[in-house]
């Protein structure tokens, strides 16, 4: 999956041989997607790349910009969200892409599946994008740009999750909800872990520190840097939103307990006194004029029922006023 | 909606042709409100503005100050609050305004509806504001000033919401209240997201870094910078107030549950023992001198009622002392 | 309320005319308390003060030190607490004081009511304080010192409130308590908002950045700077204390709910089983040897009462052991 | 346990005498594991090491890099987790390792049991690792590398604990769970306390500040530095995960209380009204046509039971709708 | 309590006269413990100390290092914990110690009771400590060392309190416990307030900024600086532990409420239905074959009791399964 392109005399020509491509006059771009170990070794020897940089492409390494003797090495992680076990669990998959910027060549090396950089290469091969005539640093800038642009899609997905959760928290007391909230928090943590170092790495390029970055390209890197600053900002804002959603959820749960307590209180405080009254007239006192004469009154029973009804009515009014019903 | 004004020989003259306005001797100010794509293109070519700067005017970009070869570009977002779906939901609408400060010209470009900068232009055209005779940087400073001043109005609106909420939280246990609190928190987040970069952008001008800013104008930019520092401060203070209001709300809810519990406890603890007593005298023991002789005492019933009344009275006193009533 | 004093030949002489005072040989100090617009204008023209600095004296501006061509401008806010509506609501009133330090003159301008600086001027007029012979910067240092000293009184008042609250939170479950806590938190926020910029402003003088500050005076400014650092520290500590008090309050409320629940639980769990027993012997089964023969036992009733007493006693012991009583 | 190795003429030779090893031409590496006081004294005098550095090896000292006259001293703590009293209580055992980098010699001194550095020495003695031919700084870099690599194992153990806890918190309301959460939090605190200074110490080497570090070795130190940055990041992320787990646990407890309340509410609100109805028909009113005629109706009892059954059914439907059952 | 010691010709000689001691050839150390105003004045005039530095010794001033014309002034607070009103309330008593480092003299001035510095002076007078031959800066370093060492004792006391609290929180729901937690938090706040500035003050010496500090002494100051960094670290860790203990306490309280609720729920849900059944058979329906025929069944009563027993058994099993018992 090695693509090699040399731009010279206002035309871009594809090459099969890497050494030839490097030595050809003009600006050379070599891109490898889903690089195998052999391909990496071939590119490494053709462009004399440092073993430490190559090793970084294999592990779970933070984005960085490192200046070597003859080139500048930019490591970025292309990100994609793949669904996890639960609906809000996302796995942030990282595919490291190494960008080596030389004086008249640029190498982009990806070990994962072909991503946005491949599409730029395809367009360049078709002649749709005139990157190479603006120099290897501009080509690298474009590669960085498409990787960072994809971050926004990822953050959009997370935002959709947050919106879903914000709708959920006002009505649900399921303990699943708080687990969902935690999943999104986790996603944001993973995302932030990637964006922070990316911002630093691009910042170095935007300041034009490496000699391979020409003054007129700095502005374009600064533009990407602005995007990364915005991404970091958004991540922080989303963290705040998630913790706001958590507050609302906890309040919903606590409101629900409150509601349950009110139901119990209303029913119990109305019927317990009534049951007491009924209990009184169930007593078996007998044997004298002072022992429960009301039991034998003509309207004793209706009167007792009326009294109980009144008690209940008064309580209901009281509870409605205190907003328990 | 292009307005072009050239100040020379102590008088400001309006121009129709942009190139003529630029080349005319004196200080030129070109302002475009609700700029269409054609108008932007015209201004861009007349003043040779960088495509990246023009692009920034179209998106949701953070405020910034960027120095170009022949001019300094200041991007600020004019803000306005428009009502959202609920009473506390506000939508912070941003209308980017680009300010290009040249050596003897200044261009102010707004893509949104005419805002405060238009009013300054109107006053300058009427001759009410003598901006241009103090140079293009002073004119730019005035434009920045009116945009930042409008931030205070916005923060005032948020403050009114906070005050309303602070009154609400001490009495309401509605779950809508916590959603309102979250809305205001959200508004503050949006606002802070705008003010922080604006502070940085104006800070660059206040330090006089760009060569287009003359020493005597720095003080005026520093004044605006002080305003922005104050806005950032206020935002932080308001965030603290909102989280204080949230504490009070949660306490109100928890107090309300406590109140409900107390009602239940008082009624239940008074009547449950009484019901037991009534239950005892409802038992059907019979058949001997030791089986409930009190049932046939002459004053058995009044005595039982008295005992129950006493029990109730003691409990009421107890509850009043413990502040349950 | 303009006081003008010129120190020359080891004696301080009062002047009525500002211009004469300025031009007189020696060190000049002009102090204005409760300055009217006319007085400000007079001082401004006599000492050629910048309009922006004068404007800062009128609004709600953060403390700052700004260097002008011929003088250094220090803006400080004299603070005083006035009682608000509730017992813990304090209004932090700010009275801006402008201190202009020239090479052989110093101007102190206060728009609010006469404060501590006036007392220093009075002492200087009486000859009690030998400030002017140590230079205008030392005089300014003294003015800054008395303003900052008053901050400690204010913080003492807040500390008294905190101590009152700390006593309250362990016993009270009033929702007013949490509002008091919030009031104090608010006061600390207002105070911090004033102290932070004051620290920065004095820090500039303590480092001796402005040329008007002589090396031997720096130490005295550093002393005031140390005080301001201590004030900032104390404010942070007090914020921690207030949030500690809030924790105790919330715990008191939650303990109180717990207490209410225990009361209910004890009474209900003792009497509900007893009522059940009484209910059993209130049943009307009859018609055979197996139907409630205990009702006609000779000691049925005393036995039943004994059993109920035993049940109650066992429960009471159980509850006492679990610390419910 | 002193091992001394001198690399010269493309071969590594072991030495018994320390002074001879130091003076021999070539690169010298002296490693001491489980160093006794005598061994330390021998090495100290042979290489002229500063008493303060030697003292640091004995106490509980933070990792650091210190430059001395003739060598650079790096102190790192090798870490290992040993099980504590409870299942989640871990004791982070620290074994300080001192690394002294000279111009043509390197000394690694460990007071604790032989750790990963010993294994590197063993490999070097067997000729498996060609460290010394790349200089003493590269040898030191390798020693630092194996110590830092072991940090990841430790963090993995903590991660396993966190995963176990995350499974636990959704089902358990045991108060032991929150103690486990706190144990892990404690472990992370201990770990962070070690990693932060290690990052700083290696950062000094990665920047190539000490003269003993050659430019080509800097990259390798920077690689280790990147690992330490990642460790710090992970620690922060794990702290966030633990506090998320704590939120879920607290919610589980609060859900459980809610569940208990619902059970009580359902049973009590269904049976209390029914008991009241039963109580009414247990009353002893008699003596007239209006006194409880329903008692003598032919279908009075079945009707009463039916009414009670209906009441119960209505309530059950109500509770099911409100999701109490 | 003035002790004056001059080291010259390899011997330390005590002096009574301060001026003589200062002018004597060799290194002079003057130490004053429990200094009276007269003693301070004597030392101040003999060594020409600045009034501001002397004043700092009297108040509640933060630790600092200040460079004067002819000497460097280090202010440290010796700390001691004295018991307060409650068992966990500690009063952090501060005794300021001023250390003035000249080129060939050092003055240590303490206004509080004799502390660790006095013990160093005693040892020096006995000839046990050879400080002065290593210069006045080394003597000062030793004085700083013993003061900072005492900080560790203090932190140990606080640690003991934290351990006591950690044992307490898992079992106690006393509201005293949270007050104890707050006391320890307060102690840590007071301690941190002292350690932070001490770290800064010693940091200045460790960097060797003052000219009185010789290069070979810097390392010893750096060692003390490391101790102070460790103290700051420990303080932060302890704050985290205390807030962890608070979490466990709040959980214990909430578990206890849960426990109370469960007791109530179990008893009430078992007996309320039973009481209802008893109530049913206490009804007085009569007058037909459908009115409670079970009352006259031969085994009616035993059957009713059996049914009630079954209901209770089923519920008990249910509650045991749901872990309520």
Which residues in chain D have their CB less than 8 angstroms from residue E262's CB?
Answer: 260
Residue of chain D nearest A67, judged by CA positions: D219
CA separation, residue B259 to residues A252, A322, B321 (Å): 18, 10, 16
Q: Would the pLDDT of A42 be above 90? A: yes
What integer pLDDT is reported at residue D287 of this predicted model? 67
What integer pLDDT is reported at residue D108 of this predicted model? 95
What is the average pLDDT score of chain B?
89
B-C CB pairs within 8 A amount to 131
**Cα distance from E281 to chain C (closest Cα, Å)?**
5
Which of C175, C264, C279 is opposite residue B255, by nearest beta carbon? C175
Q: Would the pLDDT of B85 be above 90? A: no
Interface residue B290 vs chain A (CB under 8 A) = no
Cβ separation of A269 and B246 shorter than 8 Å? Answer: no
Residue corresponding to tokens 């608010």:
C186
Cβ separation of E298 and C287 shorter than 8 Å? Answer: yes
Per-residue pLDDT tens digits for B29-55: 999 998 999 999 999 999 999 998 999
**Nearest CA-CA partner of D30 in D131, D102, D105, D95:** D105
Which of C265, C272, C280 is opposite residue E260, by nearest beta carbon? C265
Among B167, B277, B283, B314, pick the best mutation site for testing chain C contact (most C Cβ within 10 A): B283
Cα angle vertex A229, ends A228, A234, to 5°? 95
Among E169, E251, E308, pick the best mutation site for testing chain D contact (most D Cβ within 10 A): E251
Distance CA E79, CA E188 (A): 13
Interface residue C66 vs chain B (CB under 8 A) = yes
Residue corresponding to tokens 């070990």:
A111
CA separation, residue A137 to residues A50, A221, C309 (Å): 19, 10, 93
Per-residue pLDDT tens digits for E250-303: 888 888 888 888 889 999 999 999 999 999 988 888 767 787 888 888 888 888
CA separation, residue D17 to residues D21, D43, D47 (Å): 6, 10, 12
Per-residue pLDDT tens digits for C46-75: 999 999 899 988 878 889 999 898 999 999
3-state secondary structure of E252: helix
Query: What proportion of chain B, given as a percentage, has pLDDT over 70?
Result: 100
User: Tens-of-pLDDT digits for all 325 residues of chain C?
Assistant: 889 999 888 788 888 888 899 988 889 999 998 899 999 999 999 999 999 899 988 878 889 999 898 999 999 999 887 777 777 777 778 889 999 999 999 999 998 787 889 999 998 888 877 788 889 999 999 999 999 999 999 999 999 999 999 988 888 888 888 889 988 988 898 898 899 999 999 999 998 889 999 998 998 999 999 999 989 989 988 998 998 898 889 888 888 888 888 889 999 999 999 999 999 988 888 767 787 888 888 888 888 899 999 999 999 999 998 888 7
- Count of positions (residues) in chain E: 325
Which residues in chain D have their CB less than 8 angstroms from residue A271's CB?
Answer: 272-273, 275-276
**Cα distance from B279 to chain C (closest Cα, Å)?**
5
Interface residue C160 vs chain E (CB under 8 A) = no
Interface residue C61 vs chain E (CB under 8 A) = no
What integer pLDDT is reported at residue D65 of this predicted model? 93
Cα angle vertex A277, ends A273, A283, to 5°? 140
Name the strand (E) or helix (H) holding B78: strand B72-83
Interface residue B254 vs chain C (CB under 8 A) = yes
Pairing, β B64-67 against β E72-83: unpaired
**ipTM, interface predicted TM-score of the complex:** 0.76
Interface residue E255 vs chain D (CB under 8 A) = yes
> What is the model's pTM?
0.82
DSSP for D278-299, please give it: HHHTT----SSTTS-GGGGSTT
Q: Would the pLDDT of A287 be above 70? A: no
Cβ separation of D253 and E254 shorter than 8 Å? Answer: yes
For the residues D248-256, what does the mean pLDDT come to? 87
Query: What proportion of chain E, given as a percentage, has pLDDT over 70?
Result: 100
Residues linked to residue A268 through DSSP beta bridges, in sequence order: none
**Cα distance from A255 to chain D (closest Cα, Å)?**
10
**Cα distance from C271 to chain B (closest Cα, Å)?**
6
C-E CB pairs within 8 A amount to 130
Which residues in chain C have their CB less than 8 angstroms from residue E267's CB?
Answer: 268-269, 272-273
CA separation, residue E198 to residues A70, C234, E78, E144, E145 (Å): 48, 17, 10, 10, 12
Interface residue E241 vs chain C (CB under 8 A) = no
- Per-residue tokens: C135: 């230079």
Cβ separation of B248 and C193 shorter than 8 Å? Answer: no
3-state secondary structure of E67: strand
**Cα distance from C268 to chain E (closest Cα, Å)?**
7
Q: Any residues with CB less than 8 A from the CB of C305 and at least 6 apart, and which? A: B280
Cβ separation of E255 and D279 shorter than 8 Å? Answer: no
CB-based contacts of C119-126 (< 8 A; 24+ apart in sequence):
C119/C146, C120/C146, C121/C3, C121/C5, C121/C29, C121/C31, C124/C5, C124/C12, C124/C29, C125/C3, C125/C5, C125/C12, C125/C14
For the residues D301-305, what does the mean pLDDT come to? 89
**Cα distance from B2 to chain C (closest Cα, Å)?**
32
Which of C251, C265, C272 is opposite residue E271, by nearest beta carbon? C272
What is the average pLDDT score of chain A?
89
Distance CA B187, CA B154 (A): 10
What integer pLDDT is reported at residue C307 of this predicted model? 92
Interface residue B225 vs chain C (CB under 8 A) = no
Which residues in chain E have their CB less than 8 angstroms from residue D60's CB?
Answer: 230
3-state secondary structure of C231: helix
Per-residue pLDDT tens digits for E121-157: 998 888 877 788 889 999 999 999 999 999 999 999 9
Instruction: Please list the rounded mean pLDDT of every run of 10 residues in chain E (325 residues).
Output: 87 87 91 91 93 88 90 93 75 89 94 85 84 90 93 91 90 86 89 92 92 91 92 90 89 86 90 92 81 82 91 92 82
Per-residue pLDDT tens digits for D16-41: 888 899 988 889 999 998 899 999 99
Residue corresponding to tokens 């005595």:
B303
3-state secondary structure of E33: coil
Residues linked to residue A177 through DSSP beta bridges, in sequence order: none
Cβ separation of D295 and E287 shorter than 8 Å? Answer: yes
What is the three-state SS of E124-142?
A: HHCCCCCCHHHCHHHHHHH
What integer pLDDT is reported at residue D44 of this predicted model? 94
Per-residue pLDDT tens digits for C15-44: 888 889 998 888 999 999 889 999 999 999
Which residues in chain E have their CB less than 8 angstroms from residue C284's CB?
Answer: 281-284, 292, 295
């Amino acid at each position: 999956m090695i693509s090699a392109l040399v731009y010279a005399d206002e035309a871009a020509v594809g090459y099969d041989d890497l050494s030839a491509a490097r030595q050809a006059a003009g600006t050379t771009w070599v891109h490898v997607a889903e690089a195998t170990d052999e391909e990496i070794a071939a590119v490494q020897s053709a462009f004399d790349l440092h073993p430490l940089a190559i090793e970084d492409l294999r592990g779970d390494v933070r984005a960085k910009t490192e200046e070597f003797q003859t080139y500048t090495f930019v490591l970025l992680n292309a990100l994609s969200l793949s669904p996890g076990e639960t609906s809000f669990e996302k796995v942030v998959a990282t595919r490291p892409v190494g960008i080596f910027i030389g004086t008249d060549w640029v190498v982009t090396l990806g070990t994962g599946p072909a991503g946005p950089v491949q599409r730029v290469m395809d367009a360049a091969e078709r002649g749709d994008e005139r990157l190479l005539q603006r120099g290897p640093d501009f080509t690298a800038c474009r590669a960085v740009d498409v990787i960072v642009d994809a971050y926004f899609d990822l953050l959009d997905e997370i935002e959709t999750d947050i919106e879903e959760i914000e709708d959920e928290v006002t009505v649900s007391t399921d303990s699943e909800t708080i687990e969902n909230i935690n999943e999104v928090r986790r996603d944001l943590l993973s995302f932030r872990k990637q964006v922070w170092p990316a911002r630093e790495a691009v910042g170095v390029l935007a300041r034009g520190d490496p000699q391979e970055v020409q003054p007129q390209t700095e502005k374009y890197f600064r533009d990407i840097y602005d995007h990364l600053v915005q991404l970091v900002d958004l991540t922080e804002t989303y963290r705040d939103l998630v913790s706001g959603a958590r507050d609302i959820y906890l309040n919903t749960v606590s409101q629900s307990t409150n509601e349950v307590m009110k139901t119990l209180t209303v029913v119990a405080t109305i019927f317990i006194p009534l049951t007491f009254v009924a209990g009184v007239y169930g007593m078996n006192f007998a044997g004298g004029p002072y022992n429960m004469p009301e039991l034998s009154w003509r309207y004793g029973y209706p009167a007792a029922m009326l009294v109980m009804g009144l008690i209940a009515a008064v309580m209901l009014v009281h509870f409605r006023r205190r907003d328990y019903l």
